Amino acid sequence: MDLSYSMLQHLTNVAQLGDDLRILENSLGGDLHLGFGSFVDKPVLPFITSQDTCERDACCPGPLGCELPYSFKNHLPLTNETGKFSSLVAGANVSTGLDAPEGGLDALNQVAVCAEQIGWRNRSRRIVVFITDAIFHFAGDGKLAGISKPNDGECHLDPVTNEYTKSTDQDYPSVGHISAQLHNKNIIPLFVVDGRMYELYQNLSQLFKGGRVGRLSVDSANVIDLLTHILYNQIASNVNIVDTAPDNIAIYYTSVCADQNEDSTPSRCKETGVAEFDVEMLATDCSPNGEKQTFTMRPFGIDESLTVTADVICSCTCESNGVRDPSYCTNGNGTLTCGQCECDEGRYGSQCECDGDSRTDPEDLSNCIRPALNNPVVCQGRGYCMCGECVCDKPMRPGDAQIYGRYCECDNMCDDVFQGLPCGGKERGECFCDSRTLIKQCRCKPGYYGSACECISSTKYCETRNGLICNGWGSCTCEGKCRCKDDSPFTGEKCEDCAMCIGRCSSFQGCVLCKVFDKGPLTKDQCDMCMAPINCVDNLVQLNGTDITRCEYRDEDDCTILYTYVLQEDGSYTVLVQRTKGE
């Protein structure tokens, strides 16, 4: 916390947070450790004032009540005793400075590198909350006081006073230096600043991995809300994987988040459950000097990492055993090495079957350029020319486009997508490219149709137990789902649910009316679709029992039609109808 004089009101309010800190602890999982440090500025002119220049009513060093100016002081190492935190904050006092910027970067550097004195725990998420209402000094400003020695980035806290001891010997660190220190120590910075400074620190936070900014209210009463919202919702609930892989090794992440939320990205999960990450590594080039390479992968903000040692093999033992094979390398125009032909000078091709160099031979190149183009490109820029024919680039990873065609002009990535896959995926269809027009469209497999093969031809998923499509009260969409009529009392997946109906009586009502009494809402075609067997009996009352539901329908003649349905062992239904109507 900035403890220059302008922060006096904020200090008082932060010290009064008291039990609110326990609320924050519960929000963060009950294992919160808090520490407290403060900064002012380098205690030399022109950064601080002297007692000789103080006015009587100003905050001056010494007997007038303010602390003597200091650069950084570690008041309390990290602890889970929130009461001790509150009392130490309440017992702190402000100090004085002369210019507007403060020495916050000196403080951040000591917090990052003095792991033992600060009390950072291993395998914990490390966050530093930086509270201020001022801008900051950075590298080069120390020269104003004759301090030109660069900051060495080391820990210099006095074991007795817990104060930074090199503030007048070394310059301020640079912003880049602090960014690297926090990143290397897995510390996430949260800047809680006065509204006037918000834009400045917003820009600053973008230079820090995982940095966040909160706006401090005038009375600083929103500190707990800021910490709870930002620390938990934006930082603690995120798992973000980072790596230090070298340039010749590409890393691809696939996140498997517990809640599969839409905010998830390949290397990040925003959740509180278990997050899994599948990692794929691809060597794009040989390692320098052919040596093994070591790098790390880790969840950002947590001091725990996985060390990976990669040995990129760029040569095989079979290379020393080349054979002149006339049967394979075209009349002996190359050497068969590791299963491939190494062609003699002036020959090329997979089997050394070509003369010259296809990359420079005008005749060969002309055969690899698609005609009638204003800006001709060899093999459409997606392959290379060999023996006057295009050899198209192969996919680097599963899911990449498959390039094909005489001029590599086509690929299998149609723009029409269903469920995130072109043409609905291989099970539904394939992308076809017209080599003349370059128009791509989906060719659906049997049973599917639509521009992205999103529709299914079968209506079996819409059929109900009574044999009707959507129970006769809806239509089957192209995706094989029922869309119930707006004026229908039926809802649900297959329009079988009726809040106003009892049991399944209403499900068979339409079929009973049309099949037995030649009336009701169903059309002839719909009636023909009724598949449930319907049998007539003389007296339904005699069949009534505990396992039979008695269904009644009052028709327009004010007569009662009686019927019931019986569930068979195979899961189908049989409908029984009384021949004569009742009163």
Whether the per-residue pLDDT at 308 is higher than 90: the answer is yes
> In this structure, what token pair is assigned to residue 375?
């800006």
Domain ranges across the chain: 5-236, 242-310, 322-449, 460-578
Q: Alpha carbon of 333 to those of 200, 256, 321: distances in Å?
A: 68, 52, 17
Top CATH class of 5-236 equals alpha beta
Q: 240 or 104, which is more confident? A: 104
How confident is the model at residue 164, as a pLDDT? Answer: 94
User: In DSSP terms, which residues pair with 129 in a beta bridge?
Assistant: 190
The band of 57, judged by pLDDT with boundaries at 50, 70 and 90, is: very low
How confident is the model at residue 177, as a pLDDT? Answer: 92
Which residues have CB under 8 Å from 235's CB, separation 6+?
Answer: 125, 127, 188, 190, 210, 212, 301
Share of the chain above pLDDT 90, in %: 12
Whether the per-residue pLDDT at 358 is higher than 60: the answer is no
Task: Name which of 184, 181, 152 is nearest 165 in CA terms.
Answer: 152
Q: 160 or 349, which is more confident? A: 160
pTM equals 0.49
The lowest-confidence range among 150-159, 231-240, 244-253, 458-467 is: 231-240
How confident is the model at residue 263, as a pLDDT? Answer: 44
Task: Name which of 461, 551, 537 is nearest 504 in CA terms.
Answer: 551
Q: 498 or 201, which is more confident? A: 201
Region of 352 on the Ramachandran plot (φ > 0 left; ψ -120 to 50 alpha; else beta)? left
Q: Alpha carbon of 158 to those of 72, 110, 153, 392, 404: distances in Å?
A: 11, 11, 16, 66, 69
Mean pLDDT, all residues of the chain: 80
The lowest-confidence range among 80-94, 218-232, 241-255, 375-389 is: 218-232
How confident is the model at residue 111, as a pLDDT? Answer: 96
- Residue range 242-310 in CATH 3.40.718.10: no
Task: Name which of 419, 286, 445 is nearest 431 in CA terms.
Answer: 445
Average pLDDT, integer, range 119-133: 86
Q: 536 or 226, which is more confident? A: 536
The lowest-confidence range among 212-226, 234-248, 397-411 is: 212-226
How confident is the model at residue 262, as a pLDDT? Answer: 43
Whether the per-residue pLDDT at 260 is higher than 70: the answer is no
Whether the per-residue pLDDT at 571 is higher than 70: the answer is no
Task: Name which of 543, 514, 549 is nearest 528 in CA terms.
Answer: 514
Cα–Cα distance, 431 to 426 (Å, whole number): 9
How confident is the model at residue 174, as a pLDDT? Answer: 92
Cβ burial of 193 (10 Å; 0-12, 13-18, 19+) is buried
How confident is the model at residue 237, as a pLDDT? Answer: 63
Q: What are residue 163's phi and psi, to 5 degrees?
A: -105, 155
Top CATH class of 322-449 equals mainly beta
Average pLDDT, integer, range 34-40: 90
Cα–Cα distance, 483 to 153 (Å, whole number): 67
Average pLDDT, integer, range 374-400: 82
User: Tell me: the pLDDT tens digits for 74-111?
Assistant: 999 998 877 777 778 777 778 877 778 889 999 999 99
Q: 450 or 231, which is more confident? A: 450
Average pLDDT, integer, range 23-35: 68
Which residues have CB under 8 Å from 475's CB, separation 6+?
Answer: 469, 482, 483, 485
Whether the per-residue pLDDT at 19 is higher than 60: the answer is no
Q: 300 or 518, which is more confident? A: 518
How confident is the model at residue 266, as a pLDDT? Answer: 66
User: In DSSP terms, which residues pair with 318 in a beta bridge?
Assistant: none
Its sign, for the CA torsion 116, 118, 119, 125, is negative
How confident is the model at residue 27, as a pLDDT? Answer: 58
Residues in the chain: 583
Distance, CA of 230 to chain centre? 18
Whether the per-residue pLDDT at 534 is higher than 60: the answer is yes
Task: Name which of 141, 143, 110 is nearest 128 in CA terms.
Answer: 110
Topology annotation, domain 460-578: Hormone receptor fold (4.10.1240)
How confident is the model at residue 53, as a pLDDT? Answer: 47
Whether the per-residue pLDDT at 272 is higher than 70: the answer is no
The band of 364, judged by pLDDT with boundaries at 50, 70 and 90, is: low
How confident is the model at residue 546, as a pLDDT? Answer: 46
Q: 258 or 110, which is more confident? A: 110
How confident is the model at residue 265, as a pLDDT? Answer: 61
